[in-house]
Amino acid sequence: MKEIETNSIRYPKETDDKMQKLSKTLRRSKKELFCQMVDYFYRSKKDPADPGDEMLKRELSSGINRILSFIKQQEKDFLLPLFSDSGNLKTTSFRQMEILEGIARHLLGESEKTTVLTNRSDQIINGIKHLISKQKEKEKEKEKEKELLKEQFSQLLDYYIAEREEMGWSTAGTKKEELMTHVKNSLKSL
């Protein structure tokens, strides 16, 4: 391959040694390295004779200053309010925790009282049920007694009617008196 318009530059042996080391380190030919250096200085507008590169220093310094002012502004706008708000939230949450613990203690006491009241209510309900059942038993017994009394009274009345019919109207007064006394005594014993 034939290269078009090849120019040559003369430079000292020390520079050639440096160029040789750079090309080995970067794995490029001397010509390729030279072309890239020229492109770099052309694009960056840097002066290779300026060892301090004041332009680069100024750019870096202004970039660092912009970053620092951005960080300070972020700290002022966001971090400081966030820290103060988180402190307030911590205080508020601590107060809320105390309130909730107080409510929990109160509810525990009320729960114990409710349990006692429930047990007492159950006892009262059981007592009332027992009384109702006893009352029903008494009413049944009274019903039985009424039925027994009705039956005894019916027997007594039947006896009275039968005896009176047997006596007739002509029977002596003592016999009638005896019958009446017997019926009255029988009624008293009911």
Q: Is the pLDDT of residue 74 over 70?
A: yes
Give pTM, 2 decimals. 0.36
Q: Is the pLDDT of residue 60 over 60?
A: yes
Name the packing angle between helices 13-26 and 30-44 (round to 10°): 90
Q: Is the pLDDT of residue 104 over 90?
A: yes
φ, ψ of residue 34 to 5 degrees: the values are: -65, -45
pLDDT, residue 53, reads 67
Q: What's the N-to-C CA distance of the chain in angstroms?
A: 152
Question: What does the alpha-carbon distance between residue 185 and residue 45 come to, in Å, rounded to a whole number?
Answer: 149
pLDDT, residue 51, reads 67
pLDDT, residue 44, reads 80
Question: What does the alpha-carbon distance between residue 40 and residue 58 come to, in Å, rounded to a whole number?
Answer: 19
